Amino acid sequence: MHHLHFYMHETSAETAVQVANGTGPPVISRGVRARFGDTVVMDDVLTEGPSPGSRHLGRAQGMYATASRRPGPPAVALTMTVVLTGGGALYESGSTVVVVGRNEVTAPVRELAVVGGTGSFRMATGYALLKTVSWKGVTAVLELDIFVRAA
């Protein structure tokens, strides 16, 4: 099993854009305000360290939609393709890993499924762990640990 480690940098209205507005009352928890069905498309930078200036290793491209309707922790349904551009001994540049699942955004650690990939990670399976490193205003930094098996 291979272990990939990145930091994902997301800024609302810059690297993540809301493309559909949900309906109903907002779900609010720990300062997060979202409506059921809010949909966001993202193209976030992946770096080696938590600083946005650290070495770029790829991009996280995909979308998420608010999937929780009841009061309580907000959750999104996430589909994300990790596009690796850094290359190296573990993978060839341009390889991808596809991550899908429920992301309860205020939980300390979230686990999602690895359901596929291309290049060095063709037919990938495994799991991804997401942790919020910082969340200030419209900018968030997430730590991604991806554990993947490939053909």
Among 11, 36, 3, CA closest to 142:
11
Token couple for 36: 């059921």
- Domain range summary for the chain, segments of one domain joined by +: 2-149
Instruction: Give average pLDDT by consecutive 10-residue segment, the chain, 151 residues.
Output: 95 82 73 80 96 94 90 87 83 93 94 97 97 90 97 83
Does the pTM of the predicted model rise above 0.75? yes
Show Cβ contacts of residue 35 under 8 Å, excluding neighbours closer than 6 positions.
21, 22, 23, 24, 25, 26, 27, 66
Phi, psi angles (nearest 5°) of residue 3: -120, 120
How many residues are recorded in the chain? 151
In this prediction, residue 7 carries a pLDDT of 98
- Please name the amino acid found at residue 48: E
DSSP letters, 91-124, are --TT-EEEEEEEEETTSS-EEEEEEEEEGGGTT-
In this prediction, residue 17 carries a pLDDT of 83
In this prediction, residue 48 carries a pLDDT of 94
In this prediction, residue 141 carries a pLDDT of 96
Q: Let me know the angle formed at the C-alpha of 77 by 72 and 79, rounded to the nearest 5 degrees.
A: 155
Token couple for 68: 């929780």
Domain made up of 2-149: CATH architecture: Beta Barrel (2.40)
Phi, psi angles (nearest 5°) of residue 10: -125, 130
In this prediction, residue 29 carries a pLDDT of 61
